[in-house]
Structure 1
Amino acid sequence: MEFRQLNAFITIAKLSNFTKAAFELGYSQSAITAQIQQLEKELGVNLFERLGKNISLTSEGEKFLVYAKKIIKLCDEAKSTLITSDVVKGTLTIGANESLCAVRLPPILKELHERYPEIEIILKMEGNNKCKTLIRENQIDVAFIIGQKINASELITELEFPEPLVLLATPGHPLTSKKHVYPEDIADCNIIVSEKGCGYRNLFEQSLNDAGVTPKSIMEMGSIQSIKQLTMSGLGITLLPKIAAAEELKRKELIELNWWEDSFYLATQMVYHRDKWGSRALRAFIDLSKEMMNS
């Protein structure tokens, strides 16, 4: 098994095309085909399903792709440890949910680029559970997660602070006139939520379940922007991180409802795997994040 074969395999999987992969890697198509054939022969499985001009990974190929990426990444890390230079460089892959990608991370990434222009940043917008999986599979270096405190023994929490959530409605919604909103007030409402597994959706639904309340209907949307747009149109109410609706609240396009008890809170946490190799790029990002978010 050779690194060029693994690179060829990963590139074909990414592009779903042998010809495009050969062009990107600077090989002839026959050369890249031969590399994959040799790799498949060594592994004793077919990595790709070839139906005419359509290329897709087999189930074995899907499994092997995870390991191939790990091998290449570890090789790059090994090379980095042998390079002595005052310049902090390398590739940093960061995972975060939509709210943090849109609001919390941009100032940090801007400052990181200004201080360390040689660091290449890859940002993956994923939910909490997906980020944890990618950390365990070594496909991302570090993640920002909004949710309950993480107690997984294999994950290190480097930074943690409260993240307030707000119950939102459009101006003129009947609930905006109430001094306090109780769970039973929501029984006749539509609620607009993010996809299952989201920390603030879980918190909202758990609060209603504890009170024995079932909302009129639940609308599930794939993005926070869609949730805000539907809420502003008057189709329902929603619970979101306050940072995600800061501009709409400022412009009074959304109104914060007064929940009857203590405000909803989760925590924003920066986490990475306990066995993660601490590259200079990763350490620089962690230190900068703590500096900016604790200031």
Structure 2
Amino acid sequence: MDTQLLRTFLTLARTGSFTAAAADLHVVQSTVTSHIKSLEGQLGLPLVDRLPGGSRLTPAGTRVAQHAREVLDAQDRLFAAARADEVVAGEVTVGAPESMCAYRLPVVIAELATRHPELRVHLAPAGTSAALAGLRAVDGRFDVALVLDDQVPADGQVVGAEPVTLVAAPAHPAAHGTVTWRELAGFAHFLLEEGCSYSDRFAAKLAGPARITRFGSIEAARSCVLAGLGLSVLPRIAVAAQLADGSLREVAVDLPDVPLAVVTDPRRWVSPAVATVTEAIGAAWR
């Protein structure tokens, strides 16, 4: 069996449409269609339901997807053994928080590109739940999950901690002097979406009902604070430039650092490429 058929199938399982799979694989859509039909013909089973809005796996397709990942891992192990003394090569997709993708990981990837030109690392912004789901999905969307969360997964390795801070515009009342948790409850807050551990922890500590708006984007929350509309808890690195130029100020409240953990799927083989990326991420926080 041509393993490229399996790679196309897993890409279709992940993207949910023939058009998106073709774009992801840099081929025409007819190639994806041909690969799926060929695989279905060899297995004698329909693997994908073609729907008006995309595609979804049949029950047989779901079973095949799990084993397809194992077959491709075995192939990767074979090639890695043959190239044991050669360069680190391949593609690694990392699901990570927006702040890590924007501020921390680009430097890591740039250094990896210099040391390992045939290693390609892709970043996908994702919160904790989405990162772990993408890592553990049968299609193996992510090879590595980087999670910023108080609750470290059992199969995760803590590599460091990220400081978070409560920020306000200079003219905001909370930006001057010490404030209590009860006083903070009287202000508007722009927090990251539910599931963000440090945002959820902050919201739970507010003494009384508070006006809380949730965003899926650091940029959106930060923009509301810059406009003087309220407060936000954000990774310090995401507001470092604004704190330096005075457009934002830290509010005097104690917020603990948030553990940062690297997670891989214990059911999957850790390739040299994945091992190289996880080691580089860990070294960046030492």
Interval of TM-score (by shorter of Structure 1 and Structure 2) = 0.7 to 0.9
| Counterpart in the other structure of 2:49 | 48
The CA distance in 2 between the partners of 1:221 and 1:171, in whole Å, is 22
The CA distance in 2 between the partners of 1:48 and 1:97, in whole Å, is 32
2:255 to 258, 263, 267: 263
Q: Percent identity?
A: 25
How far 1:230 sits from its partner (Å)?
0.8
For residues 135-157 of structure 1, give each alpha carbon's deviation from its aligned partner in whole angstroms, at most 9, with x where no partner exists. Answer: 333432222211114152xx140
**Unaligned segments of structure 2, at least 5 residues:** none
3-state secondary structure, aligned to 1:239: strand
1:38 to 25, 38, 41: 41
| Counterpart in the other structure of 2:95 | 95
| Counterpart in the other structure of 1:118 | 118
TM-score (norm 2): 0.83
The CA distance in 1 between the partners of 2:38 and 2:171, in whole Å, is 64
The CA distance in 2 between the partners of 1:73 and 1:125, in whole Å, is 25
| Counterpart in the other structure of 1:198 | 196
| Counterpart in the other structure of 1:230 | 224
3-state secondary structure, aligned to 2:27: helix
3-state secondary structure, aligned to 1:24: coil
For residues 41-93 of structure 1, give each alpha carbon's deviation from its aligned partner in whole angstroms, at most 9, with x where no partner exists. Answer: 733x5612344xx6432564884685376246424423333322421112212
RMSD: 3.2
Asked whether the equivalents of residues 191 and 215 of structure 2 are also in contact (C-alpha less than 8 Å), the reply is yes
For residues 98-142 of structure 1, give each alpha carbon's deviation from its aligned partner in whole angstroms, at most 9, with x where no partner exists. Answer: 011111111111101101111121212110112122233343222
Runs of 4+ in structure 1 over 6 Å off: 25-30
| Counterpart in the other structure of 1:220 | 214
The CA distance in 1 between the partners of 2:123 and 2:20, in whole Å, is 26
The CA distance in 2 between the partners of 1:291 and 1:46, in whole Å, is 42
1:139 partner letter: R
| Counterpart in the other structure of 1:148 | 150
Q: How many residues are paired up?
A: 280
Asked if 1:293 corresponds to 2:272, the answer is no
The CA distance in 2 between the partners of 1:103 and 1:30, in whole Å, is 39
The CA distance in 2 between the partners of 1:187 and 1:31, in whole Å, is 58
**Unaligned segments of structure 1, at least 5 residues:** none
For residues 184-207 of structure 1, give each alpha carbon's deviation from its aligned partner in whole angstroms, at most 9, with x where no partner exists. Answer: 112321110111101111111122
TM-score (norm 1): 0.81
